[in-house]
Amino acid sequence: MRNPIEVISYKGTANAHLHTHTQIVLPLSGSLHLEVEKHQQPIRFGQACYISTSQAHTHLAEQDNRCLVLNALPVWDQKIESEFNFINLTPQAQAYLPFLSSLTAEANNSVKTHQALNLLEHLLPIPQDKISHSDVRLTKAKQRLDRDFQASWSLAELAEDVHLSPSQLSVLFKRHFGMTPKQYLLNRRLEEAKIWLSSTNKSLDYIAYKVGLSSASVLVKLFSKHYQTTPGRYRSQHFSS
């Protein structure tokens, strides 16, 4: 298996081939043409090429170049194909490349390298249609929010409960469920408020308390922003005795 981080200068051309691992090529200087599944594009600093295990690829290097190559990232499941091969990097991702390059001199420090590559989850759109290694923990976090939505959860407490860091939980939860834990909790509370409004005559203060909000005014503000109608108007339209 190749090293997880390499710095390579591509020369000439190569025959189309496959890898048994995922790969990301990020030019540090110069440029080259990469072809992935017959889709060819020149790339230079500030751009990247994603290559899945099942994708045939080759290169054409007509000028000097120096590229950072990342092999088998921990946050990229090898079974998942990238839906896009060529991307432009954010300024934050570009600023991170020199540090990653410096890790090639620390080949024996596997822990540091692993942690550094895991941070790319926050900087790059890693190809994942599903979260393979975090499904159980994310499901557990969602179940806790569903069951104890009245409680005053903090992201740090929830993350500790499911053995993830707060940043990991937030990023993975949003990728998996389409919203952050905080947004999911708010949706859960407001959906519960709708049930109370449509089925009881309880006061807004009482309903706010029951769904984990601090006051009727907070309930009115959040409900109105989320549903574009007030709790009172919603109740008048949906209440059934």
Q: Per-residue confidence at 54, pLDDT binned at 50, 70, 90?
A: confident
Shared domain check, 199 and 143: yes
Q: How many domains does the chain have?
A: 2
Q: Exposed (0-12), middle (13-18) or buried (19+): which is 94, by Cβ within 10 Å?
A: middle
Instruction: Tell whether 91 and 199 lie within a shared domain.
Output: no
- Asked which of 45-54, 121-130, 199-208 is least confident by mean pLDDT, the reply is 121-130
Residues 160 and 207 in one domain: yes
**92, 123, 154: which is the final residue of a domain?**
123
The length of the chain is 241
| 102 shares a domain with 44 | yes
Torsion of CA 205, 208, 209, 214, to 10 degrees: -90
Which among 36, 83, 82, 93 is positioned nearest to 59, based on CA atoms?
36
Residue 54 and residue 99 in one domain: yes
Boundary of a domain, candidates 73, 93, 123: 123
More confident site: 17 or 136: 17
Examine the pLDDT at 94 and tell me if it is beyond 70: yes
Please tell me whether residues 210 and 233 are part of one structural domain.
yes
Write out the residue range of the structural domain in which residue 237 sits: 133-241
Distance CA 172, CA 118 (A): 12
CATH code at position 13: 2.60.120.10
Instruction: Kindly report whether the global pTM for this prediction surpasses the value 0.75.
Output: no
Residues 9 and 115 in one domain: yes
Whether residue 88 is found in the same domain as residue 43: yes
Exposure letters 97-122 (e unless 16+ CB within 10 A, then b)? beebbebeeeeeeeeebeebbeebbe
Q: Is there a single domain that holds both residue 114 and residue 61? A: yes
Choosing from 123, 143, 177, the residue where a domain stops is: 123
Residues 67 and 28 sit within 8 Å (Cβ to Cβ): yes
Q: What is the pLDDT of residues 117-171, one digit of tens each?
A: 878 877 888 876 544 555 678 888 999 999 999 988 889 999 888 887 888 788 7
User: Would residue 128 count as lying in a domain?
Assistant: no
Q: Do 100 and 156 fall within a single domain?
A: no
Residue 203: CATH number of its domain: 1.10.10.60
Same domain? 137 vs 81:
no
